[in-house]
Structure 1
Amino acid sequence: MAQQQRKQQKPLDEKKDEAKIPTHLKFIFAGLSSMGAAAVVHPMDLAKTRMQIAASDGSKPPTTPLKVLKTAVKNDGFRGLYKGLSASLLRQAIYSTTRIGIYTTASEYYRNAYQIQPPLAMHVLIAFVSGAMGAYAGTPADVGLVRMMTDARLPPAERRNYTSTVNALTRIVKEEGVLTLWRGAVPTVGRAVVVNVAQLASYSQFRELAQSKLHVRHGLGLHLIASIGSGVLTATASLPVDIGKTRIQNMKVIDGKPEYSGLFDVIIQISKKEGVLSLWRGYIPYVLRVAPGTVVVFILLEQLNTAYFKYALGEEYKSTI
Structure 2
Amino acid sequence: RVLSPGIVPPKVKTHLQAQTVSAMAVGHQHNHEVSGDRGGLGIYQQHGVVGLWRGVTGAVPRVAVGSAVQLATFASAKDWWFRKGSWAAVLAGGMVSGVAVAVTMTPFDVISTRLYNQPVDADGTGKLYRGFLDCILQISSKEGLLGLYKGIGAVYLRLGPHTVLSLFFWDKLRNMVQH
> TM-score, length-normalised on structure 1?
0.46
CA contact (8 A) 1:172 1:180 kept: yes
Structure 1 segments of 4 or more deviating over 6 A?
none
Shift of 1:251: 1.0
The percentage of counterpart residues that share the same residue type is 25
Shift of 1:301: 4.1
Give 1:242's aligned residue: 109
CA contact (8 A) 1:302 1:319 kept: no
Bigger Rg, structure 1 or 2: 1
Shift of 1:202: 2.2
Letter of the 1:239 counterpart: T
Deviations 1:116-141 (A, max 9, x none): xxxxxxxxxxxxxxxxxxxxxxxx53
Q: Residues 276 and 198 of structure 1: is their aligned pair in 2 closer, same or farther, counting only changes over 3 Å?
A: same
> TM-score, length-normalised on structure 2?
0.79
CA contact (8 A) 2:32 2:42 kept: no
- The answer on 1:229 being equivalent to 2:96 is yes
- Gaps spanning 5+ residues in structure 1: where? 1-86, 92-139, 307-315
Shift of 1:262: 0.8
CA contact (8 A) 2:94 2:168 kept: no
Give 2:148's aligned residue: 279
Query: Structure 1 residue aligned with 2:131, among 262, 277, 284?
Result: 262
- The answer on 1:317 being equivalent to 2:163 is no
CA distance in 2, matches of 1:245, 1:231: 20
Deviations 1:84-123 (A, max 9, x none): xxx7xx47xxxxxxxxxxxxxxxxxxxxxxxxxxxxxxxx
For residues 76-91 of structure 1, what are the structure 2 equivalents within 5 Å? Answer: 90=6
CA contact (8 A) 2:9 2:53 kept: no
Letter of the 2:58 counterpart: P
Q: How many residues align?
A: 169
Letter of the 1:285 counterpart: A
RMSD across aligned positions (CA): 2.8
Letter of the 1:289 counterpart: R
Residue 12 of structure 2 aligns to a residue whose secondary structure is helix
CA contact (8 A) 2:90 2:171 kept: no
Shift of 1:153: 6.6
CA distance in 2, matches of 1:162, 1:197: 35
CA distance in 1, matches of 2:33, 2:178: 45
- The answer on 1:162 being equivalent to 2:34 is yes
CA distance in 2, matches of 1:195, 1:153: 34
Deviations 1:237-271 (A, max 9, x none): 22112211110011111354412111111111112
